Chain A
Amino acid sequence: MTGPAVLVTGADRYLGGRLAARLTADDRVARVVTAATDDLLQPAGNGRTRISELLADAQVCTVVHLAIGASASRTGSRGELKERNVIGTMQLLAACQRSPHVRRVVVKSAAAAYGASIRDPAIFTEDTELRAVPRGEYTKDVLDAEGYVRGFSRRRPDVEVTVLRLAPLIGPKADTTMSRYFALPLVPTVLGFDPRVQFLHIDDAVDVLHHATVRPHPEPPERHDRPTVLNVAGPGALPLSQAIRRAGGITLPVPELALSGLTALGSVEFSRDQLDFLRYGRVMDVRRLVDAYGINPLPTPEAFDAVFGAVKEA
């Protein structure tokens, strides 16, 4: 077994666990080191962090950062989540910057990086600029984290950095923000709005992350002063009302004002990100991913049926 040692952060989550298992089974990877989401914030004494020790001990060449999360309800308060998302990313990148071994960093970002506003084009490409200041906390976290990643890329042009903006994940076993939303008995929507929504099947997410991690480095080595950004989503879109019906649910249109007073419904949060998303939706173009990786994610309508069609029949 030759090849690089890979660090996967956020391996205590479903996606991280799946990716770590996949990489462990891959001969091109010498060793897989995992870090839980909380490890990013652990100091190890003498001014070093636990992460920099991990990087040094295993001589990690490739870092896959999956520990940027949207859900506050599973991780404690919103403040703690922000700490993990933003400070965690900063600490990780600081450790990478000091490590002489790191040659590749893959960051799982989110479609939320585009915000969701009335002034946005209907389909986001990687070059679309934000037209409105995002209102939501999670979007701000994602943008902060991506900002640190760009800074890191400028300081370490020898490291190849990939930022993957993932659409909301769905999967038969995955407990995601979306699966909890669609599982509500009455699914609240914003009255008078039927946004287009787009999803990514969790199997495709694992495939893309796997490929980003192990694909060969170009020879001779290139220098990159900015990250490669790729949208990752099932092409196409579903109107939200249609998605709810296909999942066997009943829509409950609620006036926007009433929804904005609501912060959570059972296990489903209603942040301002969520509210903007429920009004304007978010659809990404994935041609750049298909061209670069040769991976065709399952289109959104099919991915949705694969996951929720089964739920409906059961």
Chain B
Amino acid sequence: MSHRFEDAINKVFDIVERRLSGEYEVDEFGFDQELTEEVVAPALRPLYRKWFRVEMHGLENVPDKGGALIVGNHSGAIAMDAAMLQLGLLDDHPARRHLRLLGADFVFKTPILGEYARKTGATLACNPDAERLLNAGHLVGVFPEGFKGVGKPVWDRYKLQRFGRGGFVSAALKTGVPIIPVSIVGAEEIYPIIGDIKPLARLLGLPYFPVTPTFPLLGPLGAVPLPSKWHIEFGEPIETTELADHADDPMEIFNLADKVKESIQQTIHQLLEKRGGAFQP
């Protein structure tokens, strides 16, 4: 027991020491693997295991190596679903895969948040970056609903919003990687949004200013997420190798994006039925 504890302490000291002298590596996107695995993941793990009791399904649909584009539904005021999805693939996938997320420019413009996003492997949602990551064999994650998804009110929960221009589809077609739909149930209930203070959002330069039953009413206490029960399910991969010629065909791209959206929505309904109440053990 005490040995284990000592080892853990030594490891932390070792990491801190090397970080202070600058002896660690990041890739060209700024992804800091050590920081993600040794600092960020342990910090999020209690939320994943104890608070949200996340259950992963269909992990066999995510390949052990090579590029794939994971497309999911987005919800929950802040991008907690992205963080949980990332941790789930790292902890519970047999190949311990790192998910490289694509984020809105708002993320990278914001101090600290932008830095955090880059260090944990995210980059700007744009086709050059997505294609570069996919070509290099990375697992890339995208939430095409964007802020329309995370900022939607609680009465619209689990209703997928518009899927943008489908840029993610053309990135997958150009690089020939499969598209894997992922449905996340549980994130909608962590911060039920009942209002949006638009003037305040504009003043602070935010995409929306969420009002929940507890926030901003209870101040920092209102920032504690509700302990809803989560399910994350990966659907069957949609192969794109034979569609490479259609990468610039808007109709084909729209159809494929719609197919992905439909599949995510279907699975969400099934998961909701399976889960029952949102706050069950």
Contacts and interface: CB of A to CB of B under 8 A. Distances in A.
A119 B105 contact: yes
A235 B28 contact: yes
B128 interface: yes
A121 to B, nearest CB: 4
A307 to B, nearest CB: 14
Given A192-B111, A192-B112, A237-B30, A243 B22 contact: yes
Interface stretch (B66-74, B75-83, B118-126, B235-243): B118-126
A111 interface: no
Tell me the dominant secondary structure on chain A's binding face: loop
A133 interface: no
Interface residues of B, number: 28
B129 A118 contact: no
Contacts of B21: 245-246
Contacts, number: 76
Contact of A246 (B22, B108, B109, B126): B22
Interface in A155-197: 190-194, 196
Interface string B123-143: 110101100100000000000
Contact of B123 (A122, A192, A244): A122
Interface size class of A (residues with CB under 8 A): 20 to 34
Interface in B118-172: 118-119, 123-124, 126, 128-129, 132
Contacts of B108: 118, 280
Contact of B129 (A121, A193, A237, A280): A121
B28 A196 contact: yes
Given A122-B28, A242-B26, A246-B21, A196 B128 contact: no
Contacts of B22: 241-246
B27 to A, nearest CB: 8
Contacts of B215: none
Contact of A122 (B24, B105, B112, B124): B124
B197 interface: no
Given A118-B124, A194-B119, A239-B32, 7 more contacts: A119-B124, A122-B129, A192-B110, A192-B112, A196-B28, A196-B29, A239-B26
22 contacts: A118-B108, A118-B109, A119-B105, A119-B124, A120-B124, A121-B126, A190-B111, A192-B111, A194-B118, A196-B26, A196-B30, A196-B118, A237-B27, A237-B30, A238-B26, A239-B26, A239-B119, A243-B22, A245-B21, A245-B22, A246-B22, A283-B28
